[in-house]
Amino acid sequence: MSFFKPAHPVYLVGPTSYLPERVMTNEAVLEWMGVEVRASWLSHRTGIQERRWVEESQACSDLALAAAHRLFEQHGVERQRITQLVLATISGDFPSPPTSPLLLPGLGLEAIGVLDLGAACAGFASGLYTCASFTLATGGDQLLIASEIRSKFLNKKDLATAAIFGDGAAACLVTREPAGASFQLLATELSADSSVADIIAIRAGGSRLPSHLNPEEDQAFLKMQKGATLFMKGVDLMSSSAESLLRRLGMTVEEVDWVVPHQANLHLVRATTDKLGVAREKVVETVQFTGNTSGASVGIALAHLRENLPLKPGQKVLLVSAGAGGSSACALLESR
């Protein structure tokens, strides 16, 4: 595991989030798939009531820009202080080039560093680790955006996958300046379990199987395999990584005020936090109305905590995430 505790204070401004306007209820998803299944069965199986999907004309960069502009407008971000943009995504506009440089004109930024970060469901928390390292090294502010579109990679023939995923984005500023900050980053840790690296995958489109050589349409879609194994591994990865981070800090879960887990599905969220021994009222749940937004989910849920729940100054907030590739990322924040 890669543990990082900033040697000097690092702060977060935000995050803010953006969800597409198109609401897909369970009934709408089943109609899109042409499947005769009761919507109530889908709700019971996933805990999800609705999710947001983009329109055909929208791409990852559109969601990223919308989330970032909300951050700029709500928090009065001084763009001239931004020296680096980190975009956490596995659903960029194109296989090549990376999407982060395409954002600069729309953000009103130029001549800054850019980086696409592919950590799947651990994207936002992995981005915090990366941006905190950058801001300590350079002194400049880092703009972190996690933006994911999963709806365009869903197979109408695969109910288990299509029922879960949604689209969305979150953005925050990582800085050494405390003025206007929402949180202080206390510590973060990354890890991975390669034994489950290929259980969630889109097989075609990379150098292993380029799109033009793909003989099977199903290979172009997102596919989850070994559902029971995936569920148990997800619970184990998130709970063990959270325990590891707290142990390194000499803390217990009882000292944490809020837990913001990756919103994979409601049952996984609750199984993870139950295993950690976290009271239900301390857990931030947004999956019921967002679905699984992959690497953006923790940022969206953290924005929901900041904007809609009774968060108080000085409270400890634990971010917990794991997903495709077996990657995991945790972070401990303190609210301001």
CB 148 within 8 Å of CB 262: no
CB 90 within 8 Å of CB 118: yes
Task: Compute φ and ψ for 332, nearest 5 degrees.
Answer: -115, 125
Show which residues are catalytic.
121, 262, 292
Nearest to 205 by CA among 222, 220, 186, 227: 220
CB 203 within 8 Å of CB 34: no
- Distance of alpha carbon 269 from alpha carbon 48, whole angstroms: 12
- Distance of alpha carbon 25 from alpha carbon 164, whole angstroms: 11
- Distance of alpha carbon 36 from alpha carbon 30, whole angstroms: 7
Nearest to 168 by CA among 36, 297, 311: 297
Position 161: which residue type? T
- Distance of alpha carbon 305 from alpha carbon 316, whole angstroms: 12
- Distance of alpha carbon 315 from alpha carbon 306, whole angstroms: 11
Nearest to 74 by CA among 15, 132, 115: 15
Instruction: Tell me whether residue 233 is exposed, middle or buried, using C-beta atoms within 10 angstroms of its C-beta: 0 to 12, 13 to 18, 19 or more.
Output: middle
Q: Which residue has the tokens 């199984």?
A: 271
- Distance of alpha carbon 110 from alpha carbon 131, whole angstroms: 18
Q: Which two tokens stand for residue 270?
A: 């609750």
Q: Which residue has the tokens 């510590």?
A: 187
